[in-house]
Amino acid sequence: METVNEVYKIPVMISKGMFQLFSSHMEILAVVGGCFILWNFFSFLHFWYSMIQQYAIPCFLSRSKHIRQYGEWAIVTGATSGIGKAYAEELASHGMNIILVSRNPEKLKEVSEAIAATYKVKTRFIVADFSLGREVYPHIKEALRNVEVGILVNNAGVFHDYPQITTEVPEDKLWEIINVNIGAAVMMVHIVLPGMVQRKRGAIVNVSSGTCCKATPLMNIYASSKVT
């Protein structure tokens, strides 16, 4: 009990000391303000330091060799448009062969041929609709047999058709979000990770979303499905 009482006295002693050290409340506020400005200044420096380190410096260094060390093939889910297509093109520009996975065979053919022609790499594609759940994975596993996957980009993702309160989201949509955003990421890791562990090399990128960093009413199901 004695010790607990002593602990409670510490903040009182500190505040008494502060009052003795500074003659007025204004001085205390000035010190608090000064600390706040210093904190912000260092956060600002830290932000720009990490921006330069992550985005500017790599522009001047050749990362191709480093990226290819993961293995010959990169597999990108949802690679026929948006962020996934950009990932596939960027990895191909570093000399990685690309396997694209998504639903539409025409789009897959078109994008994989364009990547092969532009970046002079090998490309393959796998037609799969992740919203179907468990049944698609034996086919993907079979297609990836004997392929040395160096990089997996878990990008395929679906969003609510529009922001909606949870009770109004149709059940089919909920399963689609679960199967594509969560199920596919987990199962693709389950398929490629054993080979990576065996070869002692490989990288997995999960494409997340800013929505999972804070409370996002009307899109909370999507937000929670993107936590990684």
Ligand X SMILES: *[C@@H]1O[C@H](CO)[C@@H](O)[C@H](O)[C@H]1NC(C)=O
* Whether 208 contacts 193, CB under 8 Å: no
Q: Which of 21, 186, 197, 213 binds ligand X (CB under 6 A)?
A: 186
Residue 94-133 contact track with ligand NAP, rule CB under 6 A, x = bound = --------xxx--x--------------------xxxx--
Minimum distance from CB of 22 to ligand NAP (Å)?
A: 48
CB 97 within 8 A of CB 174: no
If one asks whether residue 228 binds ligand X (CB under 6 A), the answer comes out as yes
Q: Cβ closer to ligand X: 111 or 187?
A: 187
Which ranges in the chain belong to alpha helices (H)? Answer: 2-21, 25-51, 57-60, 64-68, 82-93, 105-119, 137-143, 171-177, 184-199, 220-225
Question: What is the Cβ-side half-sphere exposure of residue 88, based on CA atoms within 13 angstroms?
Answer: 32
**Structure letter (DSSP) for residue 55:** I
Residues of this chain, 20-49, that bind ligand NAP according to CB under 6 A: none
Active-site annotation holds for 222: yes
Nearest residue (CB) to ligand X, 102 versus 154? 154
Q: What angle, rounded to 10 degrees, do the helices at 82-93 and 105-119 form?
A: 30
Task: Provide the CA 151 distance to its chain's centre, in angstroms.
Answer: 14
Instruction: Give the residue with the Cβ less far from ligand X, 53 or 228.
Output: 228
Coil, strand or helix: which one is 125?
strand
> Smallest distance, Å, CB 186 to ligand X?
4
Q: Are 91 and 74 in contact (CB under 8 A)?
A: yes
Closer CB to ligand X, 189 or 212, in the complex: 189
Residue 22 per-residue DSSP state: S
Among 206, 209, 216, 224, binds ligand X (CB under 6 A): 206
- Binding part of the chain for ligand NAP, among 16-24, 36-44, 116-124, 154-162 by CB under 6 A, reads 154-162
Which positions touch ligand X (CB under 6 A)? 154, 185-186, 189, 204, 206, 228
Which positions touch ligand NAP (CB under 6 A)? 78-84, 102-104, 107, 128-131, 155-158, 180, 207, 209, 226
